[in-house]
């Protein structure tokens, strides 16, 4: 005879296991920078609004500084195709000729002075704030109730002799007026060029970082992801989203406290130094905890890697991902790739 439940016999509810790959596909789509275009047909996408404002900023800079500018490069997550639609900004690096300024401090100060001027504000429109930063100048615009953030980084060419060389010196905006930092934007972008699966993993980890570890630099996440894939070997990288994400999380857990990762654009810059020893230890523990909890309960994935609530989607993806190993040379035809050398806007 079937035993009926009584008030003294609580019924335990068991949640169904989560399909991790399908769910992470949903997470990945929810952070796409063109989602407004898909969901709100009568409105411009976030990317479109950025591009229109970018064009005005570019024109204003080129008009002001004229032939002293060698080129303007996209840099950061937009150029690398790792941008997500929260805390997104557009990074532009203004390449000045070696002869344009006698000192890096003069270069930075003149760019900052112009960006703070009424002339620039009137030219571009919607400007609400200009902020001096470590090597860049932050610009904030209010467009259709959306804050658009640009980072404008002035850099001076180390040499004008080789037009294919993009080595730059940046001014460190601190008390030391002679402070400088070397960089090469094209080399940084080339380091992740064609790595489609790595880029997807970076985007998922960025969704985690903005919720759980904001001190972690996106550039460091990018280098950690690439290193984890490279150490595994292209033929051995898992085909599923979760297994690829797990691979990188385990790599961070096991290596972050001791590893050195050099900036592809400046071999003297150890990017892991952007975290203190205490922060590295905390990051390793956070990864260990997350992996352990997700292993015990797949639904914990929703806590650590939440869908962007602004753009929810069904857990089941529209197009299932083909089960094949990662190829660092694979390109997604639907995504515009940066043309190399990355000298101007695409």
pTM (2 decimals)? 0.82
Q: Are residues 26 and 39 in the same domain?
A: no
Q: Is 5 domain-assigned?
A: no
* Farthest-apart Cα atoms in the chain, separation: 93
CATH number at 186 reads 3.30.460.90
Strands 168-171 and 266-270: unpaired
The pLDDT of 268-292, averaged and rounded, is 98
Q: Is residue 336 part of a domain?
A: no
Q: Look at residue 323 and tell me whether its pLDDT is greater than 60.
A: no
Q: Is residue 334 part of a domain?
A: no
Q: What is the pLDDT of residues 185-219, one digit of tens each?
A: 999 999 999 999 999 999 999 999 999 999 999 99
> Residue 338: what pLDDT?
30
Tokens 């050099």 belong to residue = 262
Q: Are strands 89-96 and 146-157 parallel, antiparallel or unpaired?
A: parallel
pLDDT in the model for residue 161: 86
Same domain, 70 and 210: no
Give the Cα separation of 217 and 201 in Å (integer). Answer: 15
pLDDT value for 341: 35
Residue 92 has, within 13 A of its CA and on its CB side, a CA count of 27
The answer on 252 and 146 residing in a single domain is no
Q: Summarize the confidence of residues 148-162 as an average pLDDT.
A: 94
Q: For residue 136, is pLDDT > 80?
A: yes
Residues 41 and 186 occupy one common structural domain: yes
Q: Shortest CA distance to 139 belongs to which of 58, 35, 68?
A: 58
User: 25-61: per-residue pLDDT in tens?
Assistant: 999 999 987 654 444 444 567 788 899 999 999 999 9
178 and 116 in a common domain: yes
Instruction: Look at residue 263 and tell me if it is in a domain.
Output: yes
In angstroms, the CA 132 to CA 110 distance is: 12
Three-state SS at 197: helix
Residues 69 and 141 grouped into a single domain: yes
Residues 162-187 pLDDT 10s: 777 799 999 998 765 458 999 999 99
d(CA 298, CA 142): 40
Domain check: are 155 and 57 in the same one? yes
How many distinct structural domains can be found in the chain? 2
In this structure, the answer to whether residues 75 and 180 fall within a common structural domain is yes
Q: What is the CATH number of the domain that holds 232?
A: 1.10.1410.40
Domain span at 287: 20-30+194-304
Give yes or no: residues 177 and 39 share one domain: yes
Going by C-beta distance under 8 Å and a sequence separation of 6 or more, which residues neighbour residue 162?
none
Exposure string (b/e) for 60-99, b if CB count within 10 Å is 16 or more?
bbeebbeebbbbbbbbbbbbbbbbbbeebbbbbbbbbbee
- Residue in 45, 50, 42, 19 with CA at minimum distance from that of residue 32: 45
Percent of the chain's residues with pLDDT above 70 = 82
């Amino acid at each position: 005879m079937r035993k009926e439940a009584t008030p003294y016999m609580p019924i335990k509810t068991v949640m169904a296991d989560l399909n991790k790959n399908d769910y992470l596909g949903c997470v990945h789509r929810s952070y796409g920078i063109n989602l407004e275009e898909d969901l709100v047909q009568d409105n411009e996408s976030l990317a479109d609004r950025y591009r229109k404002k970018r064009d005005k900023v570019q024109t204003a800079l080129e008009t002001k500084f004229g032939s002293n500018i060698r080129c303007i490069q996209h840099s950061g997550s937009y150029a690398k195709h790792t941008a997500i639609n929260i805390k997104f900004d557009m990074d532009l690096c203004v390449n000045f000729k070696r002869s344009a300024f006698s000192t890096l401090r003069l270069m930075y100060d003149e760019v900052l002075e112009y960006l703070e001027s009424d002339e620039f504000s009137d030219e571009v429109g919607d400007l609400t704030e200009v902020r001096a930063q470590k090597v860049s100048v932050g610009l904030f615009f209010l467009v259709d109730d959306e804050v658009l953030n640009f980072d404008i980084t002035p850099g001076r060419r180390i040499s004008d002799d080789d037009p294919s060389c993009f080595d730059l010196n940046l001014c460190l905006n601190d008390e030391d007026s002679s402070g400088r930092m070397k960089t090469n934007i094209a080399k940084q972008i080339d380091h992740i060029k064609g790595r489609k699966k790595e880029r997807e993993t970076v985007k998922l980890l960025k969704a985690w970082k903005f919720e759980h570890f904001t001190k972690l630099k996106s550039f460091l996440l990018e280098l950690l992801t690439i290193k984890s894939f490279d150490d595994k070997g292209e033929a051995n990288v898992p085909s599923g989203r979760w297994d690829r994400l797990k691979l990188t999380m385990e790599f961070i857990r096991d290596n972050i406290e001791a590893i050195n990762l050099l900036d592809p654009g400046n071999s003297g810059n150890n990017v892991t130094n952007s975290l203190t020893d205490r922060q590295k230890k905390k990051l390793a523990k956070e990864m260990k905890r997350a992996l352990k909890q997700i292993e015990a309960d797949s639904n914990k994935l929703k806590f650590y890697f939440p869908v962007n609530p602004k753009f929810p989607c069904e857990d089941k993806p529209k197009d299932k991902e083909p089960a094949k190993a990662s190829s660092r040379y694979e390109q997604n035809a639907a995504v515009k790739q940066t043309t190399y050398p990355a000298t101007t806007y695409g």
